[in-house]
Structure 1
Amino acid sequence: MSVKKFHSSIFNRDKILNIFELAKNDFRSKYAGSVLGVLWAFIYPCLTVVLYWFVFQVALKSKTDDNVPYVLWLVSALVPYLFFCDGLGGCASALTDYSYLVKKVRFDVSVLPAVRLISAFFIHAVFILLLLVTALAFGYFPKIGNVWLIYYVLSESIFLLVLGYLLSALTVFFKDIKNIISVLTQIGYWLTPLFWSSDSLTPWIRNLIFIINPVSYISEGFRNAVLYGGTPVVWYTIYFWGLVIVLDCSAKFIFGRCRSSFSDYI
């Protein structure tokens, strides 16, 4: 599939409307039949934050170097990581979970990873709003540098979409991909500077962590944008987008070559 055809299969008005409609249905279906419904999407992350706050701030007396409230410091990096985990898992299983649509001759399967990403983004948008309200409550008033938050939201969404196309195609043929993703996201919980500051590491270890774990670019960027209004680090921004371009080319090639075989292996 050519680059032009690949993009045109996603980015036209009718398909965008269909994607949003499918995303709303996907979002509702996750909580269909449960008493609390969509509240379950907030209960677990909120309980997780409260637990971490108690363990690290109340019990262990953890503090930040610049006296930022620890719970705010933690949540500002945790919000994008939770979106990454939710979005990555959902996008990777998009084709297998919607196998009945993949088997339809006339259905454009290229929209499915985007559907899953938008479905996950509904919750992410609410958490971003709660994060900003929490920052305001702690006295972190809006500043010009906060605009960089928009950049990081778009960067993470693009990164997830590219990974989604790549992994959703691979998951059709290698079912272990879902388990690998689960393991890697758990490891990433501790290799991403969520609970600890990257400034505590020696420069070469810090750079190594950022290279092998590009999610650090997003989580650190969120934190810097919300709390300090900081700008992205130039060298890591170049590395991050270079990686995205490489993954994008790989995703287009693999998804395009395997597309005709999806229905045979699902």
Structure 2
Amino acid sequence: MKNKEKKQIPVIGQGINKKAGITIFTLVMLIMGVIIVCYHNPLANQTDELVKKIIACTLIVIAVIAFIKFYDKITQLPFELYQNRRLIWRLAKNDFKRRYAGSYMGAVWAMIQPVVTVAMYYIVFQVIMPQKATLVGEGIEVPYLVFLTAGLVPWFYFSEAIVNGMMALLEYEYLVKKVVFKISILPIIKIIAATFIHGFFVLVLLIIAWFYGFTPSLYTLQIFYYSFCMFVLVLAVSYTTCSVVIYFRDLQQIVNIALQIGMWATPVLWNLGSFSKKAQMLVKINPLVYIVEGYRSAIYEKQWFWEDFYSTMYFWIITIGLFCIGALVYKRLKVHFADIM
């Protein structure tokens, strides 16, 4: 009887049972695989195209097998998030306000921070050490400040959200020890709170780009898409890190070091286009490259995200895989959270 009830856990709150959930996921992955196989870029190297298709299809098959095998564990987490969506929103706003509680200017500091940060980079790279315009495409030159800010904005979002998401359970330790509270919502609360600050950074980025002649267009709306990509990626990683850090507190220091290295491994301060095609493929293994370059495309390269087809497919396959891993790790370790804390 218990097993039967377990199989009928809805995935998105609409009463979808296990069989239907697996069918829907498999169909989505199948459609994605067909699109990848049928996609053809006549300008690309055909050998590279074949390798990309094989890798993508292999990852899809692995994802489907893992989803079928661990269906109950994987789907429980997104269901809990959907079920508690209103509570998540309220707690995220409270978390954002609490960050500036007690300060005279309150949440105004969230607006001052991005302005001061960009002003500092302007003084360094435009006044003290003037940088030449960055060539990002055929005949497209972008002032280095615009190029740099477009890379820093998503990176700041990632670095803050990944740390906050990792420390969510430890910060709300008193809630973790409450049996009736759904602690699975804590990481997403911290990430949403970081998203509020990211919104101010994006506004500053748009103002700077406009000042240099890059007026907003329909392409600029893609910032919402790439912000969503970052949100899902951070959420996927956070469920693994927030679970492991309770058992292994040194993970916090390891992540901080990894972020320092990651900033240089990601084309935040340097131009990806200055590398060879082979080197670019290696760098693009990092899913953050897709987002950082996406922000720049939305601001000044005027390119739609689906035009970079393989990068888009790769990003979402990897992100879905990371979320499944995070859900499994969280499910496996959470039973002892209260005891260890």
Q: TM-score, normalised by structure 2?
A: 0.72
* 2:102 corresponds to which of 30, 33, 46: 33
Give the aligned partner of residue 239 of structure 2.
165
Structure 1 contact 145–229 (Cα < 8 Å) conserved:
yes
Partners of 1:112 and 1:142 in 2: CA distance: 35
- TM-superposed CA distance for 1:144, in Å, is 2.7
Structure 1 contact 191–209 (Cα < 8 Å) conserved:
yes
* 1:21 corresponds to which of 90, 101, 117: 90
Amino acid at match of 1:6: L
Partners of 2:273 and 2:87 in 1: CA distance: 45
- TM-superposed CA distance for 1:226, in Å, is 1.3
- TM-superposed CA distance for 1:47, in Å, is 3.1
Q: 1:43 to 1:262 in 2, by over 3 A?
A: same
Q: RMSD across aligned C-alpha pairs, in angstroms?
A: 1.8
* 1:220 is aligned to 2:289: no
* 2:143 corresponds to which of 69, 73, 79: 69
Give the aligned partner of residue 2 of structure 1.
73
Partners of 1:57 and 1:200 in 2: CA distance: 21
Alpha-carbon displacement from aligned partner over 1:184-223 (angstroms, at most 9, x marks no partner): 1111222221221111122222222221x32121111101
Give the aligned partner of residue 10 of structure 2.
none
Unpaired segments ≥5 residues, structure 2 = 1-71
Q: Aligned runs of 1:115-130 on 2, under 5 Å?
A: 115-130=189-204
- TM-superposed CA distance for 1:48, in Å, is 3.1
* 1:60 is aligned to 2:129: yes
Q: Aligned runs of 1:176-191 on 2, under 5 Å?
A: 176-191=250-265
Alpha-carbon displacement from aligned partner over 1:59-86 (angstroms, at most 9, x marks no partner): 3331212332222221112111100011
- TM-superposed CA distance for 1:44, in Å, is 4.3
Q: Aligned runs of 1:1-266 on 2, under 5 Å?
A: 2-12=73-83, 15-63=84-132, 64-65=134-135, 66-211=140-285, 213-232=286-305, 233-266=308-341
Higher RCO by CA contacts (8 Å cutoff, separation 6 or greater): 1
Partners of 1:147 and 1:24 in 2: CA distance: 24
Amino acid at match of 2:74: V
Partners of 2:118 and 2:205 in 1: CA distance: 12
Partners of 2:118 and 2:216 in 1: CA distance: 23
Partners of 2:170 and 2:241 in 1: CA distance: 11
Q: 1:181 to 1:39 in 2, by over 3 A?
A: farther
Instruction: Give the number of equivalent residue pairs.
Output: 263
- TM-superposed CA distance for 1:155, in Å, is 0.7
Identity, % of aligned positions: 35
Structure number with bigger Rg: 2
Partners of 2:194 and 2:170 in 1: CA distance: 17
Give the SS at the match of 2:82: coil
- TM-superposed CA distance for 1:42, in Å, is 4.2
Structure 2 contact 74–328 (Cα < 8 Å) conserved:
no
Partners of 2:220 and 2:112 in 1: CA distance: 27
Which is further off, 51-60 or 99-108?
51-60
Unpaired segments ≥5 residues, structure 1 = none
Give the SS at the match of 2:142: coil
Q: TM-score, normalised by structure 1?
A: 0.92
Alpha-carbon displacement from aligned partner over 1:138-162 (angstroms, at most 9, x marks no partner): 3222323223222211111110111
- TM-superposed CA distance for 1:57, in Å, is 2.9
Structure 1 contact 31–37 (Cα < 8 Å) conserved:
yes
- TM-superposed CA distance for 1:87, in Å, is 0.4
Structure 1 contact 149–225 (Cα < 8 Å) conserved:
yes
Partners of 2:320 and 2:250 in 1: CA distance: 25
Structure 2 contact 149–205 (Cα < 8 Å) conserved:
yes
